Amino acid sequence: MPPGTPPQPPIAGYDGVVCDLDGVVYRGDEAVPGAPRSLQQLVDGGVRLVYATNNASRVPAEVARQLAALGAPATESDVVSSAQAGAARLAADLPAGTRVLALGGPGVAEALSRAGLVPVRPADVMAEDPPAGGVAYPEVAAPGDVSAVLQGFGRNVTVADFETAARLLTRGVQWVATNDDATLPLPWGQSPGNGAYVDLLAAATGRRPDVVGKPHPPLYRLALDRLGTAAVRTIAVGDRLATDIAGARAAGLDSAWVLTGVDGPSDLLDTDATPTFVVASLSELQRPYAVPQREALGWRCGVATVSYSDEQLVIGHEGGDRMEVVRAGLAALVEARERGTATDQLRHAARVLDRIIEDGRDDSGRTPAADVPDEEPASNR
């Protein structure tokens, strides 16, 4: 941007948004404060919006109902799931009506049906192919009649289901996984995610699946199809650097990293992710955004200046927008990393940026400095 140009809001450059869910729109059962209202304002302003989720277990209609109940604009067709991306991959390779093992929650089977394939439950696969001329019951499938496995997360998947999948995979059928997130955040901590169950089958079969969810491009391509916007005019928004932000880049999209979820500022040092924008919350997509600039002594962002010196961040101008300090600080840290400073040393220095974000949150986890206009209750929607 030329010097003297007033800062523009990030959303000014885009027609479409691919929005992550957990950590961005909601956390657990509760909305991220201000997020539903910000999304409604985006849509009211003419921006097209879809939600892209790696969660393959739930059907999109159920996700849309949850979003609508929280006050976010959402219909079933606004939700793009990794199960849909997986079913689309298989439907591109297999004739309509092909039987596919649906290993996972209801979202997996529904996505296969909607893509013109026939989902088969693991419990409905026979132990062996019937002898020639043998009669199979119509509700069961012989192993030889099942041409692929679509694996997504499901809480009710059993050891017997994995055995059935392994039996098919050993025969060489096509294998697509909705996502490879190793963990699933639950209120008490980290639980095994679909990636852990993929690894289980991989260890047993010596194979690896094609994976379609974030950070892999197919889910983003499906989201772009749904939006009808050009990749260069579409921005992906998410809280996880290794999935949302790295995935956006792999798919050729700009990205906004939102600090309402899992990853905090110091986590940037553990990745090569390069978010286009760093925002405290969704509402900042619609506010003027100062881009960090290199100056003689350090990095300037708005009224904040930050440099990395003597193994710490030197913050030259506090009192402005806390996110300007965070952005300038991240720019200084990334520069120091590129010059060869050890990541451990930088991570220690970066904790001051984590604290700025943590201190800015009230009890609900919100970052208030940037969210003040969103305090009104989201009513009459």
Would you name the residues annotated as active-site residues?
Answer: 20, 22
CB-wise, 54 or 307, nearer to Mg ion?
54
CB-wise, 23 or 143, nearer to Mg ion?
23
- Quote the least distance from Cβ 25 to Mg ion, whole Å: 9
The C-alpha atoms of residue 253 and residue 246 are separated, in whole angstroms, by 10
Task: Number of residues interacting with Mg ion: please give it, by CB under 5 A.
Answer: 4
The C-alpha atoms of residue 140 and residue 94 are separated, in whole angstroms, by 20
CA distances 59 to 34, 72, 81, 163, 226, Å, are 25, 17, 8, 25, 17
Report yes or no: 254 and 276 within 8 Å, Cβ to Cβ. yes
CA distance from start to end of the chain: 37
- Tell me the window of 22-30, 189-197, 269-277, 286-294 that interacts with Mg ion (CB under 5 A): 22-30
CA distances 260 to 37, 263, 376, Å, are 15, 8, 19
Interacting residue with Mg ion among 14, 17, 20, 332 (CB under 5 A): 20
CB-wise, 91 or 357, nearer to Mg ion?
357
What is the number of other CB atoms lying within 10 angstroms of the CB of residue 47? 20
CB-wise, 55 or 286, nearer to Mg ion?
55
- Quote the least distance from Cβ 15 to Mg ion, whole Å: 23
- Tell me the window of 20-28, 132-140, 220-228, 338-346 that interacts with Mg ion (CB under 5 A): 20-28
- Partners of 183 in the β-ladder: 192
Q: Is residue 23 a contact point for Mg ion (CB under 5 A)? A: yes
- Quote the least distance from Cβ 240 to Mg ion, whole Å: 5
SS (H, E, C) 313-378: EEECCCCCCHHHHHHHHHHHHHHHHHCCCCHHHHHHHHHHHHHHHHHCCCCCCCCHHHCHHHHCCC
Q: Which of 216, 204, 191 is nearest to 88 (CA)?
A: 216
The C-alpha atoms of residue 242 and residue 261 are separated, in whole angstroms, by 13
The C-alpha atoms of residue 19 and residue 51 are separated, in whole angstroms, by 5
Q: Which of residues 229-268 bind Mg ion (CB under 5 A)?
A: 239
Interacting residue with Mg ion among 22, 78, 181, 263 (CB under 5 A): 22
- Quote the least distance from Cβ 51 to Mg ion, whole Å: 11
CB-wise, 72 or 91, nearer to Mg ion?
72
- Tell me the window of 5-13, 15-23, 294-302, 364-372 that interacts with Mg ion (CB under 5 A): 15-23
Q: Which of residues 115-154 bind Mg ion (CB under 5 A)?
A: none
CA distances 325 to 214, 280, 299, Å, are 30, 12, 9
The C-alpha atoms of residue 349 and residue 313 are separated, in whole angstroms, by 6
- Quote the least distance from Cβ 261 to Mg ion, whole Å: 5
CB-wise, 122 or 195, nearer to Mg ion?
195
- Quote the least distance from Cβ 95 to Mg ion, whole Å: 36
- Tell me the window of 3-11, 12-20, 75-83, 319-327 that interacts with Mg ion (CB under 5 A): 12-20
- Partners of 235 in the β-ladder: 17, 254
- Quote the least distance from Cβ 289 to Mg ion, whole Å: 21
CB-wise, 88 or 237, nearer to Mg ion?
237
Comparing every residue's Cβ against Mg ion, the nearest one is: 23
- Tell me the window of 16-24, 83-91, 190-198, 329-337 that interacts with Mg ion (CB under 5 A): 16-24
Q: Which two tokens stand for residue 354?
A: 């984590």
Q: Which two tokens stand for residue 371?
A: 């969210």
Binding residues for Mg ion, rule: CB under 5 A, are: 20, 22-23, 239
